Chains A and B, each alone.
Chain A
Amino acid sequence: MNRLIRTELLKQRTTRTFTAALAAVPVVAGLVVVASFSAAGKQGNEPLGPDHLLQAVGAPASVVTLIALLLGVLGTAGEYRHQTITTTFLGSPRRRQVVVAKLAVHALVGAALGVLSVAVSTAVALPWLRSGGIPVELSGDVLRVGAGLVLSAALYGALGVSVGALVRNQTTAVAVVLVWLLAVEGLVGDVFAGSGIVHWLPAAAGRALVHGASGDGLSAPLAAALFATYVVVLAVAAVRFTVRRDVT
Chain B
Amino acid sequence: MAAIELRGLTKRFGELTAVDDLTLELGSGTVTGLLGPNGAGKTTTLRMLLGLVAPSAGTATFDGRTYAELDEPARRVGAVLEASSFHPGRRAVDHLRILASAAGLPTRRAIEALERVGMAGHAHRRVSGFSLGMRQRLGLAAALLGEPSVLILDEPANGLDPEGVHWLRDFLRAQADAGRTVVVSSHLLAEVAQTVDHVVILDKGRLVASAPLVEITSRATGAVVVRTPDAERFRAELTGRGVRAALTGPDQVCATGTTPEVVGRVIGALGLVVYEMRLEQSNLEDVFFSLTAKEGARS
Contact = CB atoms under 8 A, between A and B. Distances in A.
B89 interface: yes
A97 B99 CA distance: 16
Sorted from nearest, which 5 A-B pairs have the closest CB atoms? Answer: A91-B102, A83-B85, A14-B94, A93-B68, A247-B52
Interface in B66-82: 67-68, 70, 73-74, 77, 79, 81-82
Interface stretch (A4-12, A40-48, A64-72): A4-12
Interface string B256-287: 00000000000000000000000000000000
Given A3-B104, A14-B90, A83-B82, A89 B51 contact: yes
A15 to B, nearest CB: 5
A219 B32 CA distance: 65
Contacts of B47: 246-248
Interface size class of A (residues with CB under 8 A): 20 to 34
Given A7-B102, A10-B97, A82 B52 contact: no
Contact of A246 (B53, B67, B77, B91): B53
A21 B199 CA distance: 51
Most buried by A among B52, B73, B82, B95: B52
Given A17-B89, A82-B86, 15 more contacts: A7-B98, A11-B87, A15-B87, A84-B87, A86-B85, A88-B102, A89-B52, A90-B50, A90-B52, A90-B77, A91-B74, A91-B99, A93-B51, A93-B67, A246-B47
Contacts of B102: 3-4, 7, 88, 91-92
Interface of B: 44, 47, 50-54, 67-68, 70, 73-74, 77, 79, 81-82, 84-91, 94-95, 97-99, 101-104, 142
A87 interface: yes
